[in-house]
Structure 1
């Protein structure tokens, strides 16, 4: 293979871990018994690793005592809480497959998810803010109201038997979390240890539904080996130790929270610090200051909200040093402010996708600042990446191509969906991400867009990310998203949706003139719209397809 080809391999002297999730927490609890493991401010929870391990074992044993069998699926439909973290480790310890259900899901999506993977049990809170989870479930399964705990027989949810409620008030047909824990007696613990001896690290352990823009959600199925090792190498890139305290305001149901957050901490004996059930900029700033956190995670919109908060200057963030900014493209100007004003001198950028557990590329503290703001770093240890053209040929360095990943991190597949699995994982086990990237001579990777997001205007390839990065430098622009809209003459035209800084005013012509002086004519946005917010997923991923649909409607295309 020529050195000029876009192929990189994370050769490393660091071996892969042979742990299951259960053996990992056993080992870490012995190594760091008295170090803090979990702090959840909203619930007043503070657990050392010894205490955390004890609680995980009680819940794991309790799950088996309910009659759940290894390999069966248990859903968690909840915002960030202490119980979520405990279940993240307890379910795989018992050989169960944890199914992460988006807290934003409603009746149709919940029904689809539970039935797609035949969930035997579901854990949920009664409500959170305006989401009345128990009411939604009862709408799907009215039999719950008249049922006996453990014996649910719902016509629309035929596999579901157990409902565990994260609430002090009992509800018909459900068990309380405390009742589940109480089942973890000596006999149940003995059964747990028998089950654990039969588990292997290649067993499925986690199903995460990918929020595709078209079609029904797909259940990416991950193993112990996938997520334990990815968490380990993520923590290594952050230089985590048992003395770190990581503030995790990103959702657990997504890989960002449970792998880049929780597993990165646990693999290194660091402390998971949870500021609240959902993201709140003020609560996050308060938590970092009060808990003296050394790390902070977030998507760019979270960091923007923290930096722009009117009370930002009141908080001492000087203990911060590391963290991860990921989930969507990271604006250069925001990154510079995070380093300068939030003391995150060693913050890292990570890139990945759910189907690869998720991280494939990450910067490290030793990388020069310019590489930590203009790339997603270099290949993770023990992984391979190649960039290919539309015919599957590896492209030269410096040339955009589709990013494909191979190695320990690639999922088993989409749950009971062989055809869609084959669409993305080829015969040689390369995961085709659908992301367009460029790898330079030094191995640094830049994500330049999605295959489907690339704009082809009059035969010219236009990469929205390039225009977005340019517009972030405009003094009036707070945030921007660029996408293509249909055009009869050119095929597509460039459109920019712009969020202005508070108190700023600008016109379409002003933005276009700014671009015209610095960018090729075909990259200048033909349409500019000023908006207060972008349509987003719960994880902070911008939904460009919804913007495109809105413009098509507006322009009557």
Structure 2
């Protein structure tokens, strides 16, 4: 029999790439994935983390046992389908609770530990969380005590437990645990929109399992016992899905850093013999600048997976050369995790200037701003249709209808183009989201907080380029008649109302704003004015 030569896909005639469905979806839940791994690899390390001067670990069998205890504990307080909130920084307990929530069929609500009380209270209330599991503290600020206070404001009872409460819980009979459908909610992942009001993207078990799985297909070397290290926060899909479940899809060991510090992450990668490291560009820059890079043995490291913001070509070249690794740059949203990715073999220019190609089971097209599919190279909004997208915004039918049209297309709000090979390039963000060090910041939310200051009549918030963070937050302020404002005072005012990473670091004062005919602030004119002044 004559061997068949793989065919090269025909060039696209328009900016519409059909989904690659050659590999069937795994129609399973996160809990079923965990049970399968514990059955096939009971003594293999599932999780590793630094603990004092040693690297602690948990096997897949131990992780399943812990997750079942957590599920039993949760179900003693909740019914399946009632949301569970976790408010904590990275820890092994967080991972146990993620799997425990899956086994309990209770949607998980990750809460950023950097949020203010007002921000956290809104998410806890809007999600309908009926149980909060919180760390004692984060960066010197109490979390559990604050959670107890916020829970007291709920109309319905909302108990608060510590992160390690599962450790003393009884392990239930596995047959007593619920069996959710793969299409049932797994995550209520908060994002924000141009309205400034946070929205919870509802992601199913099927979406999260397969998003992680198809992302790993871009990284994994068959036959390799992968060790995936992440310092990214578990309250982001960049870690909860794109690290935890990406690693699980091939039975890899997940190495969890409590937070990012270049020296600590390099030490952890060396000691754990990491093969894949997940970072955002800010972290890449800090690692290259770390003196520890020259002394650590990173010979096991094969791949670095980056995302969160654009990566300059020179940074990619320096990183691949200095560490002897290959980079893969991924794109996604809370509404559609791990949607596209570059290939390891792509050039540094492709990795820096494009979003790569869609991952499996993602149909993608570019829509002209006036409607209709764009031509090759033409700019328009990126649309994604996939069973791996969110199903809705929780309890937000109007916003859901705006985001997902009648034909099932998710409107990402990103302005992109597509070449004839299906490679995507991003040209801007119609939603104006600022990406600072991998954190998404939505200008309207910051503007609404600043507009409560009595000296501010109007304000425009936008992102400015920053060599280290990608972008920083800048605020253009028009003061009220007869009023004045000081940048340091405004920064303190903002810090009391917003998470620290959302606070503007650059302040400009204007007498009037450039406006459109309909009265909207022309932010691009403000940005261009700064560029001209700097040039």
| Cα shift readout 1:364-385 (whole Å, capped 9, x = no counterpart) | 2233444333322111111101
Please tell me whether residue 351 in structure 1 is matched to residue 331 in structure 2.
yes
**Equivalent position of 1:310 in the other structure:** 291
**Equivalent position of 2:117 in the other structure:** 107
| Cα shift readout 1:178-236 (whole Å, capped 9, x = no counterpart) | 4x343333xxx23x524433x10011111011044542210111110110010110111
The CA distance in 2 between the partners of 1:253 and 1:417, in whole Å, is 21
Please tell me whether residue 116 in structure 1 is matched to residue 97 in structure 2.
no
| Cα shift readout 1:397-449 (whole Å, capped 9, x = no counterpart) | 11111000001111111111101111111001100000011111211111111
- Where in structure 1 do 4 or more consecutive aligned residues deviate above 6 Å? 540-543
Taking a change above 3 Å as real, the CA distance of residues 41 and 84 of structure 1, as seen in their structure-2 partners, is same
Pairing 1:363-512 to 2, within 5 Å after superposition: 363-453=342-432, 497-499=465-467
The CA distance in 1 between the partners of 2:322 and 2:353, in whole Å, is 19
Taking a change above 3 Å as real, the CA distance of residues 289 and 2 of structure 1, as seen in their structure-2 partners, is closer
**Native 8 Å contact 2:340 2:357 kept in 1:** yes
Task: Select 1:88's aligned residue among 83, 87, 98.
Answer: 98
Task: Select 1:183's aligned residue among 164, 169, 174.
Answer: 169
**Native 8 Å contact 2:46 2:58 kept in 1:** yes
**Equivalent position of 1:516 in the other structure:** none
Taking a change above 3 Å as real, the CA distance of residues 138 and 31 of structure 1, as seen in their structure-2 partners, is closer
TM-score (norm 1): 0.75
**Equivalent position of 1:272 in the other structure:** 254
Please tell me whether residue 227 in structure 1 is matched to residue 213 in structure 2.
no
The CA distance in 2 between the partners of 1:139 and 1:87, in whole Å, is 22
Taking a change above 3 Å as real, the CA distance of residues 92 and 500 of structure 1, as seen in their structure-2 partners, is closer
**Native 8 Å contact 2:192 2:198 kept in 1:** yes
**Native 8 Å contact 2:243 2:254 kept in 1:** yes
SS where residue 28 of structure 1 aligns? helix
What is the RMSD of the two structures over their aligned residues, measured on CA atoms? Answer: 2.9
The CA distance in 2 between the partners of 1:123 and 1:412, in whole Å, is 25
Deviation at 1:274, TM superposition (A): 1.1
SS where residue 119 of structure 1 aligns? coil
Taking a change above 3 Å as real, the CA distance of residues 542 and 240 of structure 1, as seen in their structure-2 partners, is farther
**Native 8 Å contact 2:202 2:392 kept in 1:** yes
Gaps of 5+ in 2: 1-9, 436-442, 444-459, 470-493, 514-535
Task: Select 1:28's aligned residue among 30, 37, 56.
Answer: 37
Gaps of 5+ in 1: 142-153, 167-176, 455-463, 466-482, 484-491, 502-534
Deviation at 1:312, TM superposition (A): 2.4
**Native 8 Å contact 1:246 1:323 kept in 2:** no
**Equivalent position of 2:79 in the other structure:** 69
The CA distance in 2 between the partners of 1:103 and 1:240, in whole Å, is 35
Taking a change above 3 Å as real, the CA distance of residues 46 and 124 of structure 1, as seen in their structure-2 partners, is same
Deviation at 1:496, TM superposition (A): 5.5
